[in-house]
Copies of this chain bind each other. A is one copy, B any other.
Amino acid sequence: MYRDKIKVLDCTIRDGGLINNHDFDIEFVRKVYKAINASGVDYMEIGYKNSKNLFSSKEYGLWKFCDDDQIKRVIEGIKARTKISVMVDVGRVDMDGIKPKKQSPVDMMRTAAYVKDIDKAIFMTNHFKQKGYETTINIMAVSRNMGSELDDALAQIESECSVDVVYIVDSFGALYQEPVELLVKKFCSILKTKEVGFHGHNHQQLAFGNTIEAIMHNANYLDATVYGIGRAAGNCPLELLVGFLKNPKFDIRPILDLISNEFIPLREKIEWGYIIPYAISGMMNEHPRDAMALRKTGDKENYREFYESLTNTGID
């Protein structure tokens, strides 16, 4: 599949950071940046911009805050092709602390929001846009809210927001191809002046397949991570996506080296990937938080009890 408008965003450090409190050391992040840059991937998302008034830097690593100075240490001396992205959550960022783009190593600000918070996301995004950044709004947990409230949110974005890209985020890894097709078509039809993006989760081994589905229906911004790292089951594996896209600007080999040298050892230390309680969460269209909690207990392979705990929810 070759389409010139397609952009790939690697969110290895950002989504991977959700499983280690964003505590990757600078040298590791530099290695990832070097490989992503050498592979020709368009963007690399390096973490969240969170307010230090809300989160302690003793509890979290550097990439919970993404200070410009730390980002500069990562990219210093590397001839940059890959742009830098950071994510912000509604209500967790110190807006005045965001410098104008010209004074920052960051190229793109991505605002993650639920449908209910779309007003705030629009306000924030317009602010980032005024400061000169590329912008996205990433609508989380879409699988729980695919009806008229979503339509209204998209219409509001189209009319009130200068955002460049609006993402469908399958936070729970619950979407199959048919709802992905419906969602991408809906987004494209309402957001006539924006690009559409897709961010999959791999709870049911569908992150890559759903990303292909999104591409087929004209989503042009695609998230992926090295070796699929990310919260719970993780994300669409970058190496598979690059293998699928036939754009000659991409080179898979630096990503393969990075997996060989860094991600195989890392997977021994922290857990992500195809794990049954995450698959069950996906089937049930539930947040993986209960499954993540289960994986820290001695009962972590007791799937039946976990399954029944979810199916019985809400039944008296």
Contact = CB atoms under 8 A, between A and B. Distances in A.
Interface residues of A, number: 40
B216 A177 contact: yes
A84 interface: no
A278 B50 CA distance: 39
Interface string A276-316: 10011001000000000000000001111001100000000
Contact of A301 (B213, B260, B279, B302): B260
A256 interface: yes
Interface in A225-266: 227-228, 237, 239-240, 243-244, 252-253, 256-257, 259-260, 264
A279 B213 contact: no
Contacts of A256: 276, 280, 303-304, 307
Contacts of A257: 303-304
Given A239-B276, A274-B274, A303 B208 contact: no
A219 to B, nearest CB: 14
Contacts of A177: 177, 209, 212-213, 216
Number of copies: 2
A303 B253 CA distance: 8
Contacts of A12: none
A210 interface: yes
A178 interface: yes
A197 interface: no
Contacts of A16: none
Interface in A171-219: 176-178, 202, 204-210, 212-213, 216
A40 interface: no
Contact of A208 (B178, B204, B244, B280): B204
A302 to B, nearest CB: 6
Contacts of A302: 260
Nearest to A176: B212
A51 to B, nearest CB: 37
A273 interface: yes
Given A177-B213, A253-B304, A259 B274 contact: no
Contact of A259 (B208, B239, B303): B303
Contacts of A202: 205
Contact of A276 (B207, B259, B280, B304): B259
A240 B279 contact: yes
B205 A208 contact: yes
A211 to B, nearest CB: 10
A252 B279 CA distance: 12
Contacts of A280: 243, 256
Given A209-B205, A260-B304, A301-B264, A274 B276 contact: no
A205 B211 CA distance: 12
19 contacts: A176-B244, A177-B177, A202-B205, A204-B208, A204-B244, A205-B205, A206-B208, A206-B209, A208-B209, A209-B209, A237-B279, A239-B279, A240-B283, A252-B307, A256-B303, A257-B303, A259-B276, A260-B302, A273-B274
